[in-house]
Structure 1
Amino acid sequence: MDDMTPELALKHIWTLAGCDPTALHSVTLTGADPGLPSVYRVGSLASASIAATGLAAAEYQRLRTGHRQHVTVEMRRALASFRSERYLRVDDGPPPALRDPVTGFYETRDGRWIQLHTNFAHHLRGVLQVLGCENDPAAVAAAIRNWDGATLDQTLADAGLCAALIRTPDEWAALDQAKAIRGLPLFEIERIGDAPAEPPRASDADRTLTGVRVLDLSRIIAGPVAGRALAQHGADVLMINGPHLPNIAPLVIDNGRGKRSALVDLRDAAGREVLRGLAADADVFLQAYRPGALAARGFGPEELARARPGIVYVSVSAYGHQGPWAQRRGFDSLVQSASGIAFTERQAAGWNEPKHLPCQALDHATGYLAAFGAMVALARRATEGGSWHVRVSLAQTGRWLQSLGQIADGWQAHDVTLDDVRDCLTTVESEFGRVLGVQPAEVLDETPAYFALPPARIGAHEAKWA
C-alpha cells in the first residue's frame, strides 16, 4: 500500500464505524510519513486515529448545535501525542523512568529472541522464580540461554507472566490467535440492549462532552489514553483504581490529566456496591481488564446494560476477545514482539537484536480508537437509543498498522527530541509539581480540546460524581 495516506486511513476508520461521510470534508490533515524512525506508517496511524476522535467529538457537538466545525491535525503534533509519556517532565527533572531494568530482549539457547516485560513487581518476581536467578539483567540473560525460546514463551504465559517470543510476520500469521484476529474488524461498536434515546445535555459550555460521565477502570497507557481523550473534550472522567493494583508513576501523571481519581476495592462487596452506584449514573464504562475479568465481578457489558440502560461499555484488551490468547496478559511492546513488528523493524535497520516502534503506537492508537468508538456510540444513543459495547485491542490495531504498508528507508528518519516539540507542550501546576506535558493534537474550531484539571494522585478524590 505505497499510496496509503493519513486521509485514507481516517476514511477507513470513519467508514468502518458507519459515520456520515460528508463529515470528512471538515477535516484537514497535514504532514507525511515517516515522522519518526520506523518502516511502518506510524504517523498515518497517529494522525488518523486522533483525527477520528476529534471529528467524532465535533459530530457529537453538532447534535447539540446543528452545525459543523472544522478539525485540523498536524502529523508532528499527533506523533508528539503518541509519545506523550516520553516527553513528560516534572519540575524540569530528568526523563521519566518507565521500564524495569530486566525488561528487554534476550537471546535463547536455540538462537531465538524473547522479550520480557517486568515493569510490575509481581511480574518481575514471577519471571525470576521461573528462571531461578537473581534480579539482575546479566543473570537473567545467562538463565535464558538455558531455555529454548518457544518453551520459555509458553512456560511464562502459562504462569500468567508477561513475555513474547520474537516471531516473524509469517510465524505470527500461522498461529491460531492471528487467525482469530484476522476474523475481526479494526474495532467493533455493537448495540447490546434497548434504551430510550438520550440527546446531548443542553449546554452553553465550550466543551463537546459536557455532562458526559465516564468511569475509567484502566491503567498504564491504552485505556487511560482513551479516558484522557474523552476528558480533553469535556467529559467528567472518574478514574477508578484498586488499592492493591500496581501502577507506573509517570503514566499516572501523564494519563491522569483532565481526570479525577478514586480508590474502589472490587474484592469486597462494599466496593462493588460503590461501583454499581457510580455505574448507574455513568454514560461510559471504560475498562481494560482481561476479557471476562470484570464480568466475573458482576460488571460485564450485559449486566451493566440491564442495570443502566443506555450505557456505553468500552473494552480494551491486548490480544483481542477471541482466540486462544484472549486471556494472555499483554502490553504494547509484547504485541509488537509477538506479531512480527519488532522482527521487521530489526530486519530493515540491520540491527543485531529486535527493534520496537519508536513509540507505543499500538497503545495510543487503540486508546484513541476506544474514545472514538465511545463517542460514536454516544451519538447513536442520542439519535436511536440503545446500550452499546465498543471493543478494541492492541493486536487488532497492530494488524491494521501492518496492513498500511511500509516505507523502505523509514527507519533512517531523524528522531524527534523534546526540544523539537516544545511548541506541542504546555505546563500545569499539580500536586506532583510543575508538569510539562503534550497538549491535545486535534484542533477544533469552536470547541477546543484541553485539560480542565491537573493530574491527581491515585485516590485523591471521593468515589462519587461531581
Structure 2
Amino acid sequence: MTPELALEHIWTVAGCDPAALRSVSLTGADPGLPSVYRVGTLASATIAATGLAAAEYRRLRSGRGQHVTVEMRRALASFRSERYLRIDDGPPPALRDPVTGFYETRDGRWIQLHTNFAHHLHGVLRVLGCENDRAAVAEAIRGWDGAALDQTLADAGLCAALIRSPDEWAALDQAKAIAGLPLFEIERIGDAPAEPPREGGADRPLTGVRVLDLSRIIAGPVAGRALAQHGADVLMINGPHLPNIAPLVIDNGRGKRSALLDLRDAAGRDTLRGLAGDADVFLQAYRPGALAARGFGPDDLARVRPGIVYVSVSAYGHEGPWARRRGFDSLVQSASGIAFTEREAAGADEPRHLPCQALDHATGYLAAFGAMAALARRATEGGSWHVRVSLAQTGRWLQSFGLLADGWKTPDVSIDDVRDCLGTVQSEFGHVLAALPAERLDETPAFFALPPARVGAHEAEWV
C-alpha cells in the first residue's frame, strides 16, 4: 500500500470526485518510524484527505481550486504531536499514569491496563485488591488468568485489553462485526435544504462553519483541531465532572474555544440544544448510545437542526458485542493483534505498541475529513448527515496495508529531528511548542487562529 493508493481509497469510500486527486502531491515512503506497520502511509493519506477536503469545500464557495502537499515526515510529526509538545522549553505535564502498561498473567498471557483517569485506576485497584503501586499490581495480576481478568475488567466498565494475535482477534465476534463495515460511513439521516458555504471576510476553507466538539483525549479532539486549522469556529464542550489529561488539553485545544456544560441537568442540556440549533457540525466521542440517552443522538439533532453533520467517534465500532466497551488507541492495538505483531517482529520480551498513537490520529483526521465531505454534500444536495469512524476500523485498515519485515529497526525520530515541523504560541499555559499542521495548501495555509485555553475558559455561546 502506498500513500497515494490509501488516499484514493478514502476519497472513493466518501464518493468524492476522483479528478480532485490530481491536486495532491505526497512525498516520502515508509518506514519513517520504528514499526513493521506502514504508519507513514496512514498518516500521509489521512492528513492529505483532510487537506484536500478543505480545499474542495473552499472551491465550492470561491470557484478556485488549489494544490495540497503532504510530506510524510511532517505527517508523522503531527501523528506524534503529544510526544513533541513542550511548555516553556520544558516537558509538559505527565501524560500517563505509572500503572498504565503491560503485565504478565498467571497463564503466560499479557494484558494491558489503561489507568490514566483516576476513576479507572481506582476501579482496577479494587478489582485486583492491591495498592496503587506498579509492583503490587504486577503481583496481583500474576494471580489471574488473562482472559478472565480481561472479561472481569470489561464487565466492571474499566479499561484493559488482553494481548491477542491477529488470528485470535479475527475469530472474535467483534472483529467479525467490524469486518463487515467500510473504513468510515457517511449516511444521510434526514431531509434539509441545500446550504452553500457561507460567505465570510476571511478566505479560509471553513469560514463560517460552526463546530461543537464534545470529545476528549486524542481522536475526537484531533478532528476538531483539524477543522479549526482550516478556519472553523470550534467550541469545545466539557462536563465539569469529566476528567481530562493536561498535555492533551493543550496540544489538541489549539484553535478552539472551551466551555463547560453539565448535561446531567436540564439547564445544561437546554444550552447545548440551543448551541446545536446554530451549529453545522456536532462532533462527539462518547460511547455509542450515551449521548442519545440525554437526547443528543443523531436523529434528535437532525430534528433540532435540519442540515446538521453529526460525527461519531468510537473505540471498537458501532456494531458488535464490544460496541459499548470503553477503549483507547493503545487498547485497540493490544486487542487487535498490533502490539502482538510488533513484539513478534522485534523479538521483544513484552508486547510493543506502535511508535505513536496512530489509530487515534488517523481516526481523528478521518472524522474531520468525513465532516467536510458531508458539508460538501449538504452544500449541493441538502440533507442531515451522520459520519461514523472508529479506532478499530482504522486499525483494521492499517493491518491490511501489509508489513515491513525490518521496519522495527528504523531509527527513532527525536524532537531535534523535527524542529522545523513545530511552531510556538504564547498561551495561558506558557510558551507552547507543538506540531504544526502537516498539510500545505498553496492558497489557504492551515493555521491556528487561537492559542489553547484551559477547560471552561469561555462562555458556552457562539461568537
TM-score where L is the length of structure 1: 0.99
Q: Structure 1 CA distance, aligned partners of 2:450 and 2:434?
A: 13
Aligned counterpart, 2:54: 57
1:91 aligns with 2:52: no
How far apart, in 1, do the equivalents of 2:460 and 2:100 lie? 34
Residue of structure 2 equivalent to 1:119: 116
In the alignment, does 2:437 pair up with 1:451? no
Q: Hey, what does 1:340 align to over in structure 2?
A: 337
Cross-structure match for 2:135: 138
Q: Which amino acid aligns with 2:195?
A: E
* Corresponding residue of 2:315: 318
Distance 1:96 1:443 in 2: 30
Q: How does 1:38-187 map to 2 (within 5 A)?
A: 38-94=35-91, 96-187=93-184
Partner of 2:358: 361
Structure 1 distance, partners of 2:91, 2:263, is: 36
Identify the residue that residue 461 of structure 1 maps to in structure 2.
458
Quote the Cα distance in structure 1 between the aligned partners of 2:434 and 2:318: 33
Residue of structure 1 aligned with 2:297, choices 276, 281, 300: 300
Aligned residue number for residue 407 of structure 1: 404
- State the shift of 1:159 in Å: 0.1
Aligned AA (2:299): E
Inter-partner Cα distance in structure 1 for 2:91 and 2:287: 33
Q: What letter matches 1:285 in structure 2?
A: F
Give secondary structure in 2 for the equivalent of 1:345.
helix
Shift of 1:66: 1.1
Structure-2 residue corresponding to 1:350: 347
Q: Is 2:261 aligned against 1:252?
A: no
**In structure 2, how many angstroms separate the alpha carbons of the residues matched to 1:445 and 1:239?**
29
- Structure 2: distance between partners of 1:328 and 1:344: 23
Number of residue pairs matched by the alignment: 463
- Helix, strand or coil at the partner of 2:95: coil
Give 1:204 shift. 4.3
Give the C-alpha shift of residue 67 in structure 1.
2.2
Counterpart residue number, 1:268: 265
Q: Runs of at least 4 residues of structure 1 off by over 4 A? A: none
Measured against aligned partners, the alpha-carbon deviations of 1:182-231 in whole angstroms (never above 9, x if no partner) come to 01000000000000000001234231101000000000000000000000
| Aligned 1:412-427 pairs, distance under 5 A | 412-427=409-424
- Once the two structures are superposed, the pairs formed by residues 274-289 of structure 1 within 5 Å of their partners are 274-289=271-286
Where does structure 2 lack aligned partners over 5 or more consecutive residues? none
2:338 is matched by which residue type in structure 1?
A: I
Note if contact 2:92-2:247 (Cα within 8 Å) is conserved in structure 1.
no
Q: Is the 8 A contact 1:309 1:386 kept in 2?
A: yes
With over 3 angstroms needed to count, the CA separation of the structure-2 counterparts of 1:96 and 1:9, relative to structure 1, is: farther
Question: Which amino acid in structure 2 is aligned with residue 174 of structure 1?
Answer: A
1:342-366 C-alpha deviation (Å, 9 max, x unpaired) = 0000000000100000000000000
* Match of residue 208, structure 2, among 204, 208, 211: 211
Answer yes or no: is the 8 Å Cα contact 2:59–2:65 preserved in 1.
yes
Kindly indicate whether the alpha-carbon contact (under 8 Å) linking 1:86 and 1:95 is maintained by their aligned counterparts in 2. Answer: no
Residues 42-101 of structure 1: CA deviation (Å, up to 9, x unaligned): 000000000000000000001011121000000000000000000000001125421100
User: Which among 389, 399, 402 is matched to residue 392 of structure 1?
Assistant: 389
Whole-Å Cα distance in 1 between the matches of residues 70 and 214 of structure 2? 28
Q: Secondary structure at the match of 1:209?
A: coil
Deviation readout 1:99-133 (Å, 9 max, x if unpaired) = 10000000000000000000000000000000000
Letter in 1 for 2:32: G
Match of 1:432 in 2: 429
Partner amino acid for 2:82?
A: E
Does the Cα contact within 8 Å between 1:86 and 1:96 map onto a contact in 2? no
TM-score, normalised with respect to structure 2: 1.00
% same residue:
88
* Separation of aligned partners in 2, 1:206 and 1:224: 24
